[in-house]
Structure 1
Amino acid sequence: MAEQTPDAVFRILIKADIQRVWHELTKTDAAQGAVFNAWLHTRGGLVPGAAMQMRTGTGKHVLVVGEVVEFNPPHRFVHTHRFTQHDDPVCQVAYELKQVGASVEVTLRVIGMPPGTATAKSMQGGGTMILNNLKSIAETGRPSLGIRLMYLMFDWLEFVLPAKTQSRHWPL
């Protein structure tokens, strides 16, 4: 059996309605500002077994591929996760939302990361950023200025993404 790192668990309290937070994490009609401004695409909707991708705004590159494992609005969304630029094994990402008074507790859990991989390193560093961005968007309507500038740079530098991430290599 392959060795795995312990689950990476990130948690934050957001002063917003649970439906607003849920929509931000599952929308397919706009960029997901909390998740690196990527666009969530699926075939057949967000239902268990459906293929999904996170793409750049132009749609020319696929950043993440996966499959919906669980979809229980507005409390739990689980999907498999594989970065297209790495040849690492698949892991799972679980978002769990719980109403706590006037706030929503959001837990982001990354399950089954193989140790020492680029995916594990990216997920360990990205979890806090995703939740902080989600909090900012849900509470103020947009990510911080620094994040917006970073996303602008992502757009400008899309051409440097590896050729293996091009959408033609990842049909949905």
Structure 2
Amino acid sequence: MVEAGAKPQAFAEKQIYRVVINAPIETVWNTLVKTDEALPFFFGAHCKTTGERLAPGQPYAMRTPNGKFTSVVGKVLEFSPPNRYSHTLQFTLHDDPACVVSYELKEVTEGTEFSLITENVPVGTKMEKSMAQGTDFILKNIKSVAETGKATFSSQLMLGMMSLMTPLMPKQCRSENWPLEN
């Protein structure tokens, strides 16, 4: 319901970001869905879930390596190895509503076409700005990790700086505020 005089929330059209990764589709898929180590392309976060692996209907949280802070929460919508993974996404730092993020992988001559698709991102929000800035980082680094086993050098430097800043994260991002529940 929209309050009188308030503008209804507008949502961005579907955005599709692509990169071709010189690696087999299984390598790219396994890199994307790891839940047992930090994911440099997701800003050094660990993907945590309630099951042994990601599955439709399960909640997930992107947490700092020490588990004390959570940056993103959501629910898995689709998990179809090795071609499609879709989930809701809400930043814990912002009060914006959740959007939908999907990853589509397709075998091509050069390796794997990796598509990151965003839908229903609220227009004019901090989420929209964060997502626009983060997609390039994600694409460059999943490509680098799948092809070489490590993030780009500039990203490694940035991730090192981010780990030093972890103690300064706002209280609202503490993991106890974002429990994983089915």
CA drift at 1:86: 0.3
Shift of 1:8: 2.1
Instruction: Determine the structure 2 residue equivalent to 1:99.
Output: 107
Larger Rg: 2
Unaligned stretches of 5+ in structure 1? none
TM-score normalised by length of structure 1: 0.97
Q: Which residue number corresponds to residue 166 of structure 2?
A: 158
* 1:62 and 2:70 aligned: yes
Matches within 5 A, 1:38-53: 38-44=45-51, 45-53=53-61
Q: Could you tell me whether the CA contact under 8 Å between 1:8 and 1:124 is conserved in 2?
A: no
Q: Does 1:34 align with 2:50?
A: no
Residue 2 (structure 1) shift: 3.5
Amino acid corresponding to residue 39 of structure 1 in structure 2: H
2:5 aligns with none
Distance 2:152 2:139 in 1: 12
Q: Which amino acid aligns with 2:69?
A: H
Matched residue pairs, number?
A: 172
Aligned-partner SS, 1:54: strand
Runs of 4+ in 1 over 3 A off after TM superposition: none
- The corresponding residue for 2:28 is 21
Q: CA deviation at 1:70?
A: 0.1
Deviations 1:12-65 (A, max 9, x none): 000001111111110001111111111000012311110100001111000000
The TM-score, its normalising length taken from structure 2, stands at 0.92
- Is residue 10 of structure 1 aligned with residue 17 of structure 2? yes
Secondary structure of the structure 2 residue equivalent to 1:108: strand
Deviation track 1:105-164 (CA, whole Å, cap 9, x = no partner) reads: 000001100100000111111111101101111111111111111111111110111100
Aligned partners of 2:13, 2:110: CA distance in 1, in Å?
Answer: 31
Distance 2:83 2:56 in 1: 15
Q: Is the 8 A contact 2:9 2:123 kept in 1?
A: no
Q: Is the 8 A contact 2:140 2:152 kept in 1?
A: no
